Amino acid sequence: MSDHQHLIGLLLGTEEDWPTAFEAIVRRLGTVHDGTGAAHQYDVERITVEPFDLCAKPRYDLVIDRLAYWYYHPREWLKKAALMDDVYLLNSPFTFQSMEKHAAYCAMLRLGLRVPDTVLVPYKNPPEHAKYAYTAEKYNRPFDLAAIAERLGYPLFMKPYDGGAWVGVTMIRNPEELQRAYDASGQRLMHLQKAVAGYDVFARSLSIGAETMVMNFDPDQPMHGRYSVSHGFLDAATGEETVTIGKLVNAFFRWEFNSCETLIRDGVVYPIDYANACPDIALTSLHYYFPWAIKALIRWSVFCTATGRRPRLDLETRRFFDIADRADLSYGEKLQAYRGLANEYFQTEAYSDFCASRLPHLDEVMLDWVRGPDFDRLLVDTVRSTFPPHEHDHFIAHYRGLLEMWKRDEENRLNR
């Protein structure tokens, strides 16, 4: 029987919490046997940034990237590792670079999702380019910003076409605010998007491989209070629809670690932001859901490497468009068809079987670790590095309480 040694690489920015958890659990996981009985051993390493030869062979089988969205040297290393070496990447650097928020809006509008009406307006301040003056003089048409806003209707949002982390996002209620925000946008390309005003629920789904967790989100809270622990906050049909939208986006773009924001009003699900590849999964943001996120990352990493799942750089947009373009299908029927494509892409059935038969001990490993002193130390260290000193005691108690709740729920679920 052959043995396989796998190395998982983590490409990181400033975070210490989830990588420490991920490393601890992978080390406790032990040997994983695949369906043929072959043994798979795992190790994790943090990737360093250094010059690389385009022909050098990376040692990693799979890389989880939380850095390349702003640091372009490692982004280019990811592209090399994908094209030259078949390294399995969470996520594809190609679609993530080219399919920013704007492209993601276009694609999902084409597929029939209820993205609010959105208009892209030209730069307020021109790009610095020697050819600009001549080109603009000849080809730029004057436009009436206020008339566009009037057509969309107030309130609306002005936000960068490729944004993240709420940078440059402004709620606009009248023509004065519109003009002020546009003047301030400078050289950032901006969307105007109709607001889903007075929505009932903000549901944020986090997808890791074939798994999706839908969480109740409140953007008006500070980061530590945005996710609330609530299980039945959507009715079954709306919950399924939200899950399907998340999976569809990810299957379409080949994003395997992504979050999707949807606003729900009167039973209608509006996706507003779903190009968030490699999203924040900090302990201080996810708290109760943190153990799930770490387990899902490990399950998906192990599934991909142990079964030899091939990374897929190619998109199959036509298969999705063929469903989108059918006049005989309702919105619900299209969603169902997309869900089928997503299940195929993510090998949902094979993945569930794999987790049940090959990783049945992972839940216990995680529970034991969260119960122990190492996890508590991580929680305390994370609070200390995230909040000012006078808030440490308060937040240590706060997060301990949330994780106590998770432990109780998990013990009940596992019957322990």
Ligand X SMILES: Nc1ncnc2c1ncn2[C@@H]1O[C@H](COP(=O)(O)OP(=O)(O)O)[C@@H](O)[C@H]1O
Token pair belonging to 241: 């629809």
Rule CB under 6 A: say whether 359 interacts with ligand X: no
Q: Name the residue number minimizing CB distance to Mg ion.
A: 273
Contact between 189 and ligand X by CB under 6 A: the answer reads: no
> Does 169 engage in binding with ligand X (CB under 6 A)?
yes
Work out which of 34, 61, 256, 273 binds Mg ion, going by CB under 5 A.
Answer: 273
- Asked whether the beta carbons of 339 and 247 are under 8 A apart, the reply is yes
User: Do residues 270 and 389 make contact, with C-beta atoms less than 8 angstroms apart?
Assistant: no
Using rule CB under 6 A, residue 116 touches ligand X? yes
* The one segment of 74-82, 188-196, 289-297, 370-378 that binds ligand X by CB under 6 A: 188-196
Residue 164 binds ligand X, judged by CB under 6 A:
yes
> Do 1 and 38 touch, CB atoms closer than 8 A?
yes
Q: Which does 196 bind (CB under 5 to 8 A by kind): Mg ion, ligand X, none?
A: ligand X
Q: Does 211 bind ligand X (CB under 6 A)?
A: no
Q: What does the block give as tokens for 255?
A: 């994003």
> Which CB atom, from 57 or from 151, has the smaller least distance to ligand X?
151
Please state the separation of Cα 161 from the chain's center in Å. Answer: 17
CA 377 – CA 173 distance, rounded (Å): 46
Torsion angle defined by CA atoms of residues 51, 57, 63 and 65, in that order, rounded to the nearest 10 degrees: 20
Report yes or no: 55 and 43 within 8 Å, Cβ to Cβ.
no
261 lines the binding site for ligand X (CB under 6 A): yes
Q: What is the DSSP letter of 142?
A: P
Environment class of residue 166 by beta-carbon count within 10 Å: exposed (0-12), middle (13-18) or buried (19+)? Answer: exposed
Length of the chain: 416
Task: Please name the helix (run of DSSP H) or strand (run of DSSP E) that holds residue 185, with its range, or none.
Answer: helix 175-185
- Alpha carbon distance 23, 97 (integer Å): 28
Residue 157 binds which of Mg ion, ligand X, none (CB < 5-8 A, kind-dependent): ligand X
Q: Which is nearer to Mg ion, 260 or 323 (CB)?
A: 260
Binding residue for ligand X, selected from 22, 157, 289, 395, defined by CB under 6 A: 157
Report the site for ligand X in 219-238 (rule: CB under 6 A): 219
Q: Which stretch binds ligand X (CB under 6 A): 68-76, 139-147, 158-166, 182-190?
A: 158-166
* Rounded CA separation 275/115 (Å): 13
What's the distance, Cα to Cα, between the start and end of the chain in Å?
35
| Distance of closest approach, residue 115 Cβ to ligand X, in angstroms | 9
The 360-379 contact track toward ligand X, x by CB under 6 A, reads --------------------
Work out whether 259 is an interface residue with ligand X (CB under 6 A): no
Helix (H) or strand (E) holding 186: none
Rounded to a whole number of angstroms, the minimum distance from the CB of residue 15 to ligand X is 18
Q: How far is the CB of 199 from ligand X (least distance, A)?
A: 7
58: helix, strand or coil: coil
Q: What DSSP character marks residue 310?
A: P
Q: Binding of ligand X at residue 166 (CB under 6 A)?
A: yes
Return the range that interacts with ligand X (CB under 6 A); candidates 2-10, 165-173, 290-298, 328-336: 165-173
Binding flag, residue 100, Mg ion (CB under 5 A): no
Enumerate binding residues for ligand X (CB under 6 A). 116, 157, 159, 163-167, 169, 193, 195-196, 219, 261, 263, 272-273
Enumerate binding residues for Mg ion (CB under 5 A). 261, 273
